[in-house]
Amino acid sequence: MKNVNAEIISVGSELLLGQIADTNAQWISQQLAEIGINVYFHHTVGDNEARLTEVMTLAQKRSDLVIVTGGLGPTDDDLTRDVAAKVLQKNLVVEESILEKIEQYFVKNNIAMSENNRKQAVVFKEGIILPNEEGMAQGMYVEHEKKSWIFLPGVPREMKSIMVKHGFPFLQKKYQMNKQIVSKVLRFIGIGESILEDRLSDIIREQTNPTIAPLAGEGEVMLRLTASCQNEAEGFAFIQVVEDKILARVGKYHYGTNDDTLESTVLQLLKQLNLSIASAESITGGRFIDRIISLPGASQVVPGSIVCYQREVKEKVLKIDEQLIEKYGTISEQCATKMAENIQQMMNSTIGISFTGNAGPDMSENKPVGTVFIGLKIGTKEVVCKKYQFTGVRNTIRNRAVKKGLELIYHYLKNNNLPTV
């Protein structure tokens, strides 16, 4: 396999106006990565002849393979064919078989065909057609001075259909791709990105196949291991060796792989251990339990929960002693502890978790914005209550509290800190 460096050009003023996101470039990149073609650039340009010429000229110079989406439609705005013909010194001809299909379409649908629809039957004389089974604008392949170009319509459904049926198989054959790329994401919680990298810096530096790329997520860190290989089995074997090395150092923080989420991992653990959970939520207002109920199978482990937003509900419904609140306030270790105990009892669950704090915008009970207490009652053990100071705006604070609650539960269950019931 030779090393192929690709570039994707997206043509369309609607992209530069921000009316749509460039999901075409994303999808093509993903697919190319999987067959082992490196994408080095995405370049987006509007429906403008001079700028499109500039972008195509640059691509011809720097890339082995250029994939262009958009600008193949019937209107005057659609310049891709004409500009490409000039830059790549090709001739444009009407392809009769396509023209026929277009005419048939209009007859069949009983619509008058306008002159500019003929434009979609125009192709490069020196090129190959990559048929579009979903629409009128055909895909095209053409070469210029040893560089390869693929032209595709911008409509995602049509573009994907052409690439899956004709484009990718063509490229794999052309470049004799017998290699493929497999990857695996390892997910970590409770360790910062920079510390994780510090601990693994020698492994990350020395590692070439698979490569290791750290990714920062919302309140968590991920490592993507990507292997180049002859087949999947070989790729995952390469990855396993490195994964073992990584987990020997930071396995303590590792909670899942690929599409796992912290809540799906926690739900899985609760099910395995046959435990149930209920929450008493003030600051998080139901968001914690909603995260778990988002997942199918939650009904096995969640009996219910209480959102106790106002003090009165903490007292009257959750039965927290009025004097306790009078003395310590609702944003306190004492209140969080009682909330966790009482919700466990009320819902008859193995685990009770509580959240109380200040999400802003102002100080509350003399506690600054971001102060959160989380109480965790597991079985007959004493409540563990932790105080946090989160940063960010209202819902960032609330999300961080939810994530921290999941992390706490995960931590306790994983370390076999199991309930004695």
Q: Under rule CB under 8 A, which residues in 98-137 are in contact with its own copies? A: 105, 108-109, 111-112, 114-117, 134
Q: Site residues for its own copies, window 142-181 (CB under 8 A)?
A: 155, 157
Task: Select from 210, 256, 360, 405 the one that contacts its own copies (CB under 8 A).
Answer: 360
Nearer to its own copies, 13 or 228 (CB): 13
The CA-based dihedral angle spanning residues 220, 296, 30, 134, taken in that order and rounded to the nearest 10 degrees: -150
**Cβ of residue 54: shortest distance to its own copies, in angstroms?**
8
DSSP-derived letter for residue 217 is -
- Number of residues forming the site for its own copies (CB under 8 A): 104
Among positions 30, 89, 178, 345, the unique one binding its own copies when judged by CB under 8 A: 30
With b for 16 or more beta-carbon neighbours within 10 A and e for fewer, the 244-275 pattern comes to eebeeebeebbbbeeeebbbbbbbebbeeeeb
Residue numbers 296-325 binding its own copies by CB under 8 A: 296, 298-299, 302-310, 312-313, 316-317
DSSP string computed for 222-251: EEEEEEEESSHHHHHHHHHHHHHHHHHHHG
Report the site for its own copies in 238-297 (rule: CB under 8 A). 281, 284-290, 292-294, 296
The least CB distance from residue 126 to its own copies, in Å, is 27
With respect to its own copies, which residue has the nearer C-beta, 127 or 360?
360
Closest CA to 263 of 301, 223, 225: 301
Measured in whole angstroms, how far is the alpha carbon of residue 227 from the centre of its chain? 20
Task: Return the residues of window 45-104 that contact its own copies according to CB under 8 A.
Answer: 45-46, 48, 51, 54-55, 58, 62, 73-77
Q: What residue spans of 137-261 are helical by DSSP H? A: 156-162, 168-174, 193-206, 232-250
Q: Could you give the C-alpha distances from 278 to 282, 294, 354, in angstroms and in order? A: 13, 15, 9
State in angstroms the smallest separation of the CB of 239 from its own copies.
16
Torsion angle in degrees (nearest 10) through CA of 98, 104, 108, 111: 90
DSSP assigned state of 418: P
Taking the least distance from each CB to its own copies, the nearer of 80 and 117 is 117
Task: In angstroms, give the least distance from the CB of 414 to its own copies.
Answer: 20
Helix, strand, or coil (residue 290) = helix
Least distance between its own copies and beta carbon 50 (Å): 10
- Our finding on whether 33 is near its own copies (CB under 8 A) is yes
Q: Which is nearer to its own copies, 89 or 114 (CB)?
A: 114
Taking a C-beta distance cutoff of 8 angstroms, is the pair 316, 342 a contact? no
Cβ neighbors of 348 (< 8 A, separation 6 or more) are 276, 303
- Rounded Cα distance between 275 and 301, Å, is 6
Nearer residue to its own copies within complex by CB, 90 or 403: 403
Closer of 292 and 376 to its own copies (Cβ): 292
